Amino acid sequence: MTDKIEQSELVVESMSNQRFDQVANELFPDFSRSRLQTWIKSGLLTIDGRPGKSKQKLFGGETLQLCVDLEPEGEWVAEDIPIDIIYEDDAIMVVNKPVGLVVHPAAGNRTGTLLNGLLHHNPELIHVPRAGIVHRLDKDTSGLMVVAKTLAAHTNLVTQLQARTVSREYEAVAIGVMTGGGRVAADIGRHPRQRTKMAVLDFGGKEAITHYRVLERFEYHTHVRLKLETGRTHQIRVHMAHIGYPLVGDATYAGRFRIPKGASVELIEELRGFARQALHAAQLGLNHPVSGEYIQWSVDLPDDMVHLLSEVAQG
């Protein structure tokens, strides 16, 4: 990716009598509506070489010219942090995030995040919003994430996420023995009293839908496969707790630690020592932003979840 964008497009007659910003959205689909509005206002997107106003009508036959020197999208620092890259081309990168790695800098985590590592791997990502990160995983959730390497890929992937054409499947170990699969449709929003938590809300939440199916039942636990239809913060963790099957190790949503009645010493020790939610983003599928081809990736469970499943199987 270069740090300069230079493009020009002809306004065809069928676009006559449409607003400048509407035509720009059609002719420059690689960029978001808000970004194009900003470029129009700043005079970087012009009509026949002259600045225009978003609402002015076009007649057809004009040439829209885009000439932009890309600015850094943040003041982040590149750091040499190992990244497990599953796939990479000129448009996207798919990474396998380990447990314990924060995705994006925030208060208390200014450095040492996946974003810092991405900038070290590819400094040009400084010109892409959030260094190309379009969706997140919690610090203690492992697994697959896609990163956009260009503005065009970023716009495309954000649109796909909004259209729900990105497939995200997870594996988890839930507390309790589930009778079968199902669907949870329960709106999620900020917890009314504990602001660091999310919760199922009757009013004011955002639509949240999770599909789940049983992979294997054990004496006290269930190995579950889950698919997100929406992507709310902590969605799987909140939904599973909401239906009475919170995730093993989830200190935020599973409540106080309970010892399964009759569990072996080995299982009790494993459960006490499992210090993160047993959740892994196992599969990711999407339409490639450039080719349009549907591509899918899968990664195995991390060692700690493999060991956990071994112990819960023995009871």
Residues known to be catalytic: 138
Pairing of strands 167-175, 279-287: antiparallel
Q: Which residue type occupies 224?
A: V
Determine the distance from the C-alpha atom of residue 86 to the mean position of all C-alpha atoms in its chain, rounded to a whole number.
Answer: 16
| Eight-state DSSP code of residue 205 | P
Q: Kindly report the CA angle at 275 between 274 and 280, in degrees rounded to 5?
A: 80
For the chain, the helix, strand and coil percentages under 3-state DSSP, each to the nearest 5: 25, 30, 45
- State both tokens at 64: 């829209």
DSSP states of 81-93? ----EEEE-SSEE
Beta partners for residue 217, in sequence order: 222
Q: Kindly report the CA angle at 135 between 163 and 127, in degrees rounded to 5?
A: 105
DSSP states of 235-288? HHHHHHHHTT-PBTT-TTTS-S--PPTT--HHHHHHHHH--S--EEEEEEEEE-
Pairing of strands 221-228, 209-217: antiparallel
Query: Which residues are CB-neighbours of 200 under 8 A, at least 6 positions away?
Result: 186, 187, 188, 238, 239, 242
